[in-house]
């Protein structure tokens, strides 16, 4: 593939590399040269231009956009149901088909054969935009027309990115440069870069974005005032063109901190009025404002507990203010005591979200959605699924994933998270009997709830590659695709991303896909073993530090001693956390014999000589996985060197540089973890490999 200039990198998976000559000849149809744009709205025009651009790039030809199709001509017809019903050409499509599509909601689209060509029909302009990107995506992967045909609607009402960006331009847990929205205390005016970002989001169906850090401090508290609202409205407008609603994180203590009130008590009438006034103000600037994201009573952020109220009181306060305008309150369940005592083994941070929230089921207003992290702790490389997901039949819930790789290599180490997320989404909560998967729970469907969705903590910043590690774009892409359709196979998502981003050579697609798919388990193998988590350097969370959090107040321990390791969370002898699960998980996790190896140390404290399901002892597993993990990290670099000539040189170099860092990091992990346990246990490697004494 040809060299690209630096700026071309920001196309990411909208690069749409030209299809290879031979294949292209076979695949390309005569009608793939013309776009007939029936929707004349801005968003409809955007869809047409995207399709034009996609076809031009994929086929290396000029594509014309026509206003209407003449009899007998063919092409890609782009329109909404409303357009379709007006156009005479539409007679090929049945009334039933159209009614079906309409019933799937405004975001749905269909791809239907139309004469010798094809029609992309949106239930609305939003659906049309998604349909246009879908058609290009499918062409980029050379999907047959036959396989494209059908209707498609998102599984999740909310498909959201949460940015943890600060007004000074920094990004909490950001590994991809500075903020896309803020710099040096200013909200940035909308730029072509912002448009490029909105395109990326729309292309994978993201429809909501919270742009500021959930830890709302100082000046960011003033976002909901005239001081910043005009600037924020300009961003919202740019996003709106791509069917994305803007959300803001807010400070629960705002009535006190910026409002001059003496309290932020949710039951105080002046406080209630204050928030209502704020809502009216916000909607006067941003008529389709999405709502608030709130982190309250967590990690030193204020919340309703300050006033002796509970989280339902707190969330409902804000929901009542936003409801008249259709705004939502997204209330995070990441609430735990971060001042815990490591000496007390009965305290268990893993219990916190369930303990805090389940008892409030039914008390939340209809505009409140609880946002629940995938695991009970904090985005570790391996955690069980949070038992809170699906535990509240009368409460809107959504799943929170972390795309930014806080604990999974920080976009220096390759760690493709789509396989992890798939495991989470496929986990059966048994909330309403079998097949109540997390995917079903999060979307709301599984619990017959109107609202639901998936939020991901964003991994993009002003890095030229968007994500620091260029291959971390695949996490960004994959998140969006899974939020749209959790049933997608991760291999398909990976292939889509490679074809649209880098090219079509089978060697590249196959090798890179396997690198990506191996990477999560590789990262897991050289970091904290068997689900025990943490063992990272405190604060920044990169690199090994086995005891880094062991004697801290953060509630994340491994309890390794001379005899054994792990956290006893059983009901019989431990913290009782296991009891938060429904059967059969409860029994499976409770029993050290049936507990899956990869979660063993999360649920049990066992001797180093304990035999895993794999037949290995725990200590030997630690040694093996760390030796093998470091070796596999080296293998990733070697594998990249085999294929890197297939991608632009700068891209290839950036990836190679990151993979070389990863090799060092993996060796550091290997040596620190192995030495730590060798020093602690006195047990050597049974295969006699060198462990630093």
- Please, are residues 333 and 370 in contact by the beta-carbon 8 Å criterion? yes
CB contact set of 218 (below 8 Å; sequence gap of 6+): none
Contact pick of 210, 244, 447, 546 for a copy of itself (by CB under 8 A): 546
DSSP state of 158: E
Q: Which is nearer to a copy of itself, 16 or 669 (CB)?
A: 669
Of the listed 42, 64, 299, 426, which one is catalytic? 299
CA 239 to centroid of chain Cα atoms = 18
Q: Which of 84, 197, 379, 678 binds a copy of itself (CB under 8 A)?
A: 678
Helices 42-59 + 125-140 axis angle, to 10? 10
Residue 628 known to be catalytic: no
By CB under 8 A, is residue 681 in contact with a copy of itself?
Answer: yes
378 is catalytic: yes
693 binds a copy of itself (CB under 8 A): yes
Answer yes or no whether residue 675 interacts with a copy of itself by CB under 8 A: yes
Quote the least distance from Cβ 536 to a copy of itself, whole Å.
12
> What Cα–Cα distance (Å) separates residue 686 from each residue in 469, 554, 610, 629, 690?
37, 35, 15, 17, 11
Within 511-540, which residues bind a copy of itself (CB under 8 A)? 539
Q: What is the radius of gyration, based on Cα positions, of the chain? A: 26
Residue 579 CB, shortest distance to a copy of itself, in Å, is 23
Q: Cis link prior to 584 (omega < 30° from 0)?
A: yes
- Tell which residue, 384, 455, 437, has the closest CA to residue 599: 384
In this chain, which of 359, 563, 645, 689 binds a copy of itself, going by CB under 8 A? 563
Which window, 24-32, 403-411, 592-600, 677-685, contacts a copy of itself (CB under 8 A)? 677-685
Question: Quick one: which segment of 83-91, 114-122, 284-292, 676-684 binds a copy of itself (CB under 8 A)?
Answer: 676-684
Dihedrals φ, ψ of 630, to 5°?
-65, -40
Q: Could you count the other beta carbons within 10 Å of the beta carbon of residue 545? A: 17
Looking at the Cβ atoms of 222 and 661, the one nearer to a copy of itself is: 661
Select 575 or 644, whichever has its Cβ closest to a copy of itself.
Answer: 575
The answer to whether 297 and 336 have CB atoms below 8 angstroms apart is: no
Contacts of 528 (CB under 8 A, 6+ apart): 380, 381, 382, 534, 535, 536, 558, 673
Q: Which of 297, 348, 378, 463 is catalytic?
A: 378
Q: Does 566 bind a copy of itself (CB under 8 A)?
A: no
Residues 342-371 touching a copy of itself, rule: CB under 8 A, are: 342-343, 345
CA distances from 270 to 273, 275, 310, 562, 656 (A): 5, 9, 18, 58, 58
Helix ranges (DSSP H) in 485-617: 490-501, 506-526, 585-590, 600-603
- Our CB check for a copy of itself shows the closer of 350 and 560 to be 560
The verdict on 551 binding a copy of itself (CB under 8 A) reads yes
Residue 642 tokens read as 């085999």
Smallest gap from Cβ 682 to a copy of itself, in A, equals 4
Of the candidate residues 56, 488, 672, 685, the single one contacting a copy of itself (CB under 8 A): 672
By CB under 8 A, name the one of 560, 595, 643, 666 that touches a copy of itself.
560
Does the protein bind a copy of itself through residue 554 (CB under 8 A)? no
The least distance separating a copy of itself from the CB of residue 570, rounded to whole angstroms, comes to 17
* DSSP string covering 314-333: HHHHHHHHHGGGT-EEEEE-
Contact 201, 254 (CB under 8 A): no
Candidate residues 596, 661, 680, 685; the one interacting with a copy of itself per rule CB under 8 A: 680
Least distance from a copy of itself to the Cβ atom of residue 551, Å = 4
Of the two residues 359 and 679, which places its CB atom closer to a copy of itself in the complex?
679
How many CA atoms within 13 Å lie on the side-chain side of 297?
23
Site string for a copy of itself, 80-99 (x = CB under 8 A): --------------------
> 639-677: b or e for each residue (b if 16 or more CB lie within 10 Å)?
bbeebbebbbebbbebbeebbebbbebbbebbbbbbebb
Should residue 544 be labelled a site residue for a copy of itself when binding is judged by CB under 8 A? yes
Nearer to a copy of itself, 133 or 669 (CB): 669
- Candidates 21, 450, 562, 687: give the one binding a copy of itself (CB under 8 A): 562
Q: What does the alpha-carbon distance between residue 394 and residue 449 come to, in Å, rounded to a whole number? A: 8
Angle, in degrees to the nearest 10, between helices 418-426 and 490-501: 150
CB of 545 to a copy of itself, least distance (A): 7
Active site residue 406: yes
In terms of CB distance, is 300 or 551 closer to a copy of itself?
A: 551
Task: For the CB of residue 251, give the shortest distance to a copy of itself in the complex, in Å.
Answer: 27
Of residues 125, 165, 348, 406, which has the active-site annotation?
406
How near is the Cβ of 664 to a copy of itself at its closest, in Å? Answer: 12
Q: How far is the CB of 537 from a copy of itself (least distance, A)?
A: 8
**Beta strands 186-187; 182-183: pairing state:** antiparallel
DSSP letter for each residue of 432-453: TBTT-BHHHHHHSGGGT-S--E
689 binds a copy of itself (CB under 8 A): no
Please, what is the minimum distance in Å from the beta carbon of residue 568 to a copy of itself? 12
Stretch that binds a copy of itself, among 75-83, 87-95, 116-124, 673-681 (CB under 8 A): 673-681
Distances (CA, A) of 288 to 207, 239, 320, 502: 12, 11, 17, 36
Phi, psi dihedrals of residue 104, rounded to the nearest 5°? -90, 0
Q: Of 154 and 548, which CB lies nearer to a copy of itself in the complex structure?
A: 548
Q: Is 416 in the site for a copy of itself (CB under 8 A)?
A: no
Q: Which of 45, 68, 276, 545 touches a copy of itself by CB under 8 A?
A: 545
Work out which of 71, 682, 687, 688 binds a copy of itself, going by CB under 8 A.
Answer: 682
237 alpha-carbon distance from chain centroid = 23
Measured from the Cβ of residue 24, the count of other Cβ atoms closer than 10 Å reads 16
- C-alpha closest to that of 492 among 517, 470, 523: 517
- Please report, as ranges, the residues that interact with a copy of itself according to CB under 8 A: 342-343, 345, 539, 544-547, 551, 559-563, 668, 671-672, 675-676, 678-682, 692-693
Positions annotated as catalytic residues are: 299, 378, 406
């Amino acid at each position: 593939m040809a060299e690209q200039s630096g700026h071309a990198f920001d196309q990411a998976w909208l690069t749409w590399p030209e299809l290879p000559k031979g294949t292209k000849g076979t695949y390309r149809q005569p009608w793939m040269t013309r776009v007939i744009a029936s929707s004349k709205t801005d968003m409809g025009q955007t869809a047409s231009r995207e399709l034009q651009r996609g076809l031009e790039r994929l086929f290396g030809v000029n594509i014309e956009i026509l206003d209407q199709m003449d009899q007998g001509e063919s092409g890609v017809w782009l329109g909404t149901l409303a357009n379709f019903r007006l156009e005479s050409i539409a007679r090929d499509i049945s009334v039933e088909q159209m009614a079906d599509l309409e019933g799937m909601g405004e975001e749905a689209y269909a791809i239907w054969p139309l004469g010798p060509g094809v029609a992309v029909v949106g239930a609305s302009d939003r659906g049309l935009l998604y349909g246009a990107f879908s058609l290009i995506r499918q062409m980029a992967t050379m999907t047959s027309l036959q396989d494209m045909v059908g209707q498609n609607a998102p599984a999740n009402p909310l498909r959201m990115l949460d940015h943890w960006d600060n007004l000074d331009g920094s990004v909490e847990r950001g590994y991809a440069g500075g903020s896309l929205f803020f710099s040096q205390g200013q909200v940035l005016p909308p730029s072509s870069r912002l448009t490029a970002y909105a395109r990326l989001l729309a292309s994978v169906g993201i429809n909501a974005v919270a742009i500021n850090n959930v830890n709302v401090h100082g000046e960011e508290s003033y976002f909901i005032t005239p001081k910043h609202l005009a600037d924020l409205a300009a961003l919202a407008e740019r996003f709106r063109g791509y069917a994305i609603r803007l959300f803001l994180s807010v400070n629960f203590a705002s009535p006190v901190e910026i409002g001059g009130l003496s309290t932020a008590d949710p039951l105080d009438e002046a406080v209630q009025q204050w928030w209502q006034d704020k809502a009216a103000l916000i909607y006067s600037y941003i008529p389709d404002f999405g709502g608030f994201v709130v982190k309250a009573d967590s990690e030193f952020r204020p919340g309703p507990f300050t006033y002796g109220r509970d989280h339902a009181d707190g969330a409902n306060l804000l929901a009542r203010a936003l409801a008249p305008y259709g705004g939502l309150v997204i209330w995070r369940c990441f609430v735990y005591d971060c001042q815990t005592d490591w000496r007390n083994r009965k305290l268990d941070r893993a219990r916190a979200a369930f303990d805090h929230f389940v008892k409030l089921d039914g008390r939340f207003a209809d505009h409140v959605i609880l946002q629940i992290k995938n695991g009970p702790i904090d985005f570790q490389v391996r955690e069980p699924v949070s038992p809170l997901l699906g535990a509240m039949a009368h409460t809107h819930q959504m799943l929170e994933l972390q795309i930014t790789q806080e604990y999974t290599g920080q976009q220096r180490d390759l760690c493709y998270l789509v396989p992890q997320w798939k495991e989470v989404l496929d986990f059966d909560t048994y909330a309403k009997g079998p097949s109540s998967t997390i995917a079903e729970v999060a979307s709301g469907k599984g619990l017959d709830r109107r609202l639901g969705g998936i939020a991901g903590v964003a991994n993009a910043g002003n890095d030229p590659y968007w994500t620091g590690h260029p291959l971390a774009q695949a996490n960004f892409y994959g998140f969006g695709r899974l939020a749209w359709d959790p049933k997608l196979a991760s291999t398909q998502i990976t292939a889509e991303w490679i074809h649209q981003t880098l090219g079509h050579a089978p060697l590249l697609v196959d090798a890179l896909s396997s690198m990506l798919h191996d990477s999560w388990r590789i990262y897991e193998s050289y970091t904290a073993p068997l689900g025990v988590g943490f063992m990272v350097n405190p604060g920044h969370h990169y690199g090994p530090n086995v005891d880094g959090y062991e004697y801290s107040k953060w509630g994340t321990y491994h309890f390794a001693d001379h005899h054994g390791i792990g956290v006893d969370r059983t009901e019989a002898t431990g913290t009782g956390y296991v009891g938060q699960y429904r059967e059969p998980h409860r029994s499976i996790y409770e029993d050290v014999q049936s507990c899956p190896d990869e979660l063993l140390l999360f649920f049990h404290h066992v001797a180093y000589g304990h035999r895993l399901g794999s037949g290995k002892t725990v200590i030997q597993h630690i040694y093996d996985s760390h030796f093998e993990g470091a070796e596999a990290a080296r293998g990733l670099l070697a594998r990249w060197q085999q294929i890197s000539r297939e991608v632009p040189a700068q891209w290839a170099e950036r990836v190679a540089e990151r993979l070389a860092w990863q090799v060092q990091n993996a060796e550091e992990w290997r040596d620190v973890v192995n030495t730590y346990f060798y020093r602690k246990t006195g047990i050597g490697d049974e295969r006699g490999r060198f462990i630093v004494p």
